[in-house]
């Protein structure tokens, strides 16, 4: 491709030398072969809503080069963690799909799931503000099915042609190699503010969805519209959703920053610890199923990956559950070498003409081939199907299983020794959708509404979540050096919510609001709020799977501590002991209580709620210890529930918070008080404190 350096394009000469062109000369974008590019925004397809064509040499070359930029680390989703488990089917879905794994109620299909951040390299931290990958490989009896999605149901772009540009803009800036695992920089915001189609996704990206408390507490989405096809050849569209059994939960931004410093492996440690302790993470797989008639009358194009279908319009039907019950034995062999490809489908599940999905089908196979050394990555155990596999593909780098005998081609006349044959009855059949249209690079006009669902997402949030979004926009854009980019984003926000735009503009010091960004289609204000889009409106009302940190000292009331521990564990939560020394403490009855964390290595950001339970003799020492004061200050600032004994008051006083204590601070002076504390903790956060915290 022709590119620019300090404003001047350079080109590769016939001898491989680089010729820098002078300003004013032709700066037309070209392919690697020097052919001028007429359209760098849209892939070539058959009709405005038709499938992408294999002959699109511009898109294939662009994505091919992008896929091969880095080895062996993944270009995106490099920072990941995986686990084994199973998918259990709830009922027979034969009327909807011929997919074998959905035919027999109660049947368990082995799976491997990998969760990841998008932007960071392998050595980055777990809790940046970022989209999380949510990929599941089903080892079915008819081959591997890869459901490769994210924890957000929409995406930044509509056409795979723009994926290299998106990732280039979001990753480290090429001249300086930073920022690492962050979206708060000029290139990313320059790109998205020039791509209005990204606006819906940016609303999600600035929400608490991108700073999940745990991988176990986040949703997953297939993003695209796919097809279910039954054995009679009848088809309906389907969208896939993963719902965590423990409910959704996120952290706050200040907390995320401190978690990354205290424990960069926070999410992978949490997943590992849960499985090792037998608290197996679970998600329900649900589907939104709809026919062509619904697709025709829906307000937006169901092939547009920047749009979702609200659950109020098409309810989600639970069809099974995934349980992760086994950690990997070797991180590299399994988590690093697992290769997901969106094209990996089984009979009964089929593609749609979503232009982003069509490009992913090309990109993933190409990427995995390069990253894992050749075409035989399916021979690696983590990628190999668990059903019989038999074909004539041979040789290549690291071939482990070659055809045996004389025949390595088809058709052949070697009879029973001639190898496998095609099977029209059980083989994969693509849905025979009629396609008609001119061969052209074009974006369907039905993809043109870039703001309406962004507005719908915003009005669906609670006031607390809206405040977090505004704070996120201000934080991110404050890191952007160019004022025009900051102003440009405010102009887009004006098309979604004027109050949000004003709040962000004020936070950025923009005195005069710009005109609203030019919109291809006016924002619809008739779309109602969708409560399912909010985290806080869908709380779990449980502390199961959560961690309660208790800060204690020698002389702690043995009976009270034992009562707290018993009650916490009865709720399915974990009590973590934080002490002045890792050796633990001696309780009032002389028994030894082992410590899980030393106070300066176990800050309150690592816990969902905290209890302050020192002895009267030792609390004054804690009150002079900065990490202990930070433990209290952070828990209060992050709106966590704080249980405390009377003996802890000097510690509160040392922080200056004694006059700020509210209903989220609960006295625990007897075992009978524990139940009331834990009942309040089921709300997960005391958000009523937020306004007071903002004034501190």
Retrieve residue 376's tokens. Answer: 């035989």
**Could you tell me if 191 and 166 are in contact, meaning their C-beta atoms sit under 8 angstroms apart?**
yes
**Could you tell me if 227 and 237 are in contact, meaning their C-beta atoms sit under 8 angstroms apart?**
yes
CA dist., res. 608 & res. 674, Å (int): 16
Compute, in degrees rounded to 10, the torsion defined by CA atoms 68, 70, 76, 79: 150
Q: Tell me whether the omega of the peptide bond preceding residue 515 falls within 30 degrees of 0, making it cis.
A: no
Look-up of token digits 């929400």: 207
- Catalytic residue IDs: 77, 150
Contacts of 35 (CB under 8 A, 6+ apart): none
The dihedral sign for the CA sequence 65, 68, 73, 76: positive
Of residues 271, 320, 288, 274, the one with CA closest to residue 87: 320
Phi, psi of 234 (to 5 degrees): -80, 145
Count of C-beta atoms within a 10 Å radius of residue 525: 9
Count of C-beta atoms within a 10 Å radius of residue 401: 14
Of residues 40, 62, 43, 60, the one with CA closest to residue 51: 43
Count of C-beta atoms within a 10 Å radius of residue 509: 10
**Could you tell me if 578 and 596 are in contact, meaning their C-beta atoms sit under 8 angstroms apart?**
yes
Look-up of token digits 């081609």: 409
CA dist., res. 181 & res. 190, Å (int): 17
**Could you tell me if 571 and 544 are in contact, meaning their C-beta atoms sit under 8 angstroms apart?**
yes
CA dist., res. 399 & res. 378, Å (int): 10
Q: Using only C-alpha atoms, what is the Rg of the chain?
A: 28
3-state SS, residue 570: helix
Retrieve residue 69's tokens. Answer: 């930029």
Contacts of 576 (CB under 8 A, 6+ apart): 547, 548, 549, 550, 596, 597, 602, 606, 607
Q: What is the DSSP string of 385-400?
A: -SS--------STT--
Retrieve residue 226's tokens. Answer: 């796919």
The angle that helices 498-508 and 463-478 make with each other, rounded to 10 degrees, is: 40
Strands 80-89 and 108-117: antiparallel
95 burial via Cβ count (<10 Å: 0-12, 13-18, 19+):
exposed
Retrieve residue 35's tokens. Answer: 């052919």
Look-up of token digits 């979702």: 308
């Amino acid at each position: 491709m022709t590119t620019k350096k300090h404003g001047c394009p350079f080109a590769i000469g016939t001898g491989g030398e680089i010729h820098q062109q002078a300003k004013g000369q032709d700066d037309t974008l070209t392919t690697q072969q020097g052919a001028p590019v007429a359209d760098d925004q849209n892939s070539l397809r058959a009709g405005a809503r038709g499938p992408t064509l294999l002959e699109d040499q511009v898109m294939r070359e662009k994505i091919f080069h992008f896929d091969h930029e880095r080895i062996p680390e993944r270009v995106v989703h490099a920072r990941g963690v995986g686990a084994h488990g199973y998918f259990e089917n709830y009922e027979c879905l034969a009327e909807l799909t011929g997919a074998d794994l959905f035919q027999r109620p109660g049947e368990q299909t082995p799976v491997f799931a990998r969760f990841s951040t998008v932007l960071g390299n392998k050595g980055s931290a777990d809790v940046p503000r970022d989209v999380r990958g949510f990929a599941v490989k089903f080892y079915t009896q008819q081959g591997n099915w890869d459901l490769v999605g994210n924890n957000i149901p929409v995406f930044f772009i509509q056409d795979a042609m723009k994926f290299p540009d998106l990732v280039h803009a979001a990753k480290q800036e090429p001249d300086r190699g930073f920022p690492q695992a962050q979206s708060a920089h000029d290139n990313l915001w320059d790109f998205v503010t020039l791509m209005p189609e990204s606006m819906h996704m940016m609303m999600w990206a600035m929400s608490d969805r991108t700073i999940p408390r745990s991988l176990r507490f986040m949703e997953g989405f297939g993003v695209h519209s796919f097809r279910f096809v039954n054995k009679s050849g009848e088809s309906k569209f389907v969208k896939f959703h993963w719902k965590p059994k423990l409910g959704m939960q996120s952290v706050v931004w200040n907390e995320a920053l401190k978690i990354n410093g205290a424990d960069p492996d926070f999410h992978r440690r949490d997943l590992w610890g849960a499985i090792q302790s037998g608290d197996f993470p679970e998600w329900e797989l649900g589907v939104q199923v709809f026919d062509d008639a619904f697709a025709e009358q829906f307000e937006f194009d169901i092939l547009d990956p920047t749009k979702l279908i609200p659950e109020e319009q098409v309810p989600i039907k639970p069809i099974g559950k995934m349980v992760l019950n086994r950690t990997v034995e070797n991180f590299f062999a399994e988590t690093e070498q697992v290769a997901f490809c969106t094209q990996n489908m089984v009979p009964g599940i089929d593609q749609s003409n979503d232009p982003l999905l069509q490009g992913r089908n090309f990109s993933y196979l190409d990427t995995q081939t390069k990253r894992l050394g050749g075409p035989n990555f399916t021979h690696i155990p983590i990628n190999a199907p668990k059903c019989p596999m038999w074909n004539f593909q041979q040789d290549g780098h690291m071939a482990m299983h070659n055809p045996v005998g004389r025949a390595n081609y088809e058709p052949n006349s070697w009879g029973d020794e001639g190898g496998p044959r095609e099977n029209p009855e059980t083989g994969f059949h693509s849905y025979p959708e009629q396609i008609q249209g001119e061969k052209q690079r074009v974006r369907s006009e039905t993809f043109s509404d870039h703001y309406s669902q962004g507005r719908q997402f915003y009005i669906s949030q609670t006031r607390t979540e809206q405040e977090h979004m505004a704070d996120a926009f201000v934080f991110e854009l404050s890191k952007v050096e160019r004022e025009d980019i900051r102003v440009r984003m405010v102009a887009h926000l004006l098309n979604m919510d004027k109050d949000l735009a004003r709040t962000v503009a004020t936070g950025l010091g923009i005195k005069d609001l710009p005109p609203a960004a030019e919109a291809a289609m006016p924002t619809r204000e008739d779309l109602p709020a969708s409560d399912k889009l909010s985290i806080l409106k869908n709380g779990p009302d449980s502390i199961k799977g959560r961690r309660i940190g208790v800060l204690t000292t020698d002389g702690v009331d043995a009976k009270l501590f034992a009562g707290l521990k018993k009650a916490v564990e009865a709720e399915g939560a974990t009590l973590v002991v934080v002490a002045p020394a890792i050796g633990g403490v001696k309780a009032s009855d002389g028994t030894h209580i082992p410590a899980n964390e030393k106070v300066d290595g176990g800050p309150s950001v690592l816990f969902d709620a905290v209890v302050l339970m020192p002895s009267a003799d030792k609390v004054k020492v804690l009150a002079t210890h900065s990490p202990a004061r930070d433990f209290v200050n952070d828990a209060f600032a992050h709106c966590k529930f704080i249980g405390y004994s009377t003996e802890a008051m000097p510690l509160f006083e040392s922080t200056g918070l004694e006059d700020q204590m509210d209903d989220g601070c609960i006295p625990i002076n007897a075992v009978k008080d524990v139940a009331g504390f834990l009942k309040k903790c089921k709300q997960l956060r005391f958000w009523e404190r937020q306004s007071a915290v903002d004034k501190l």
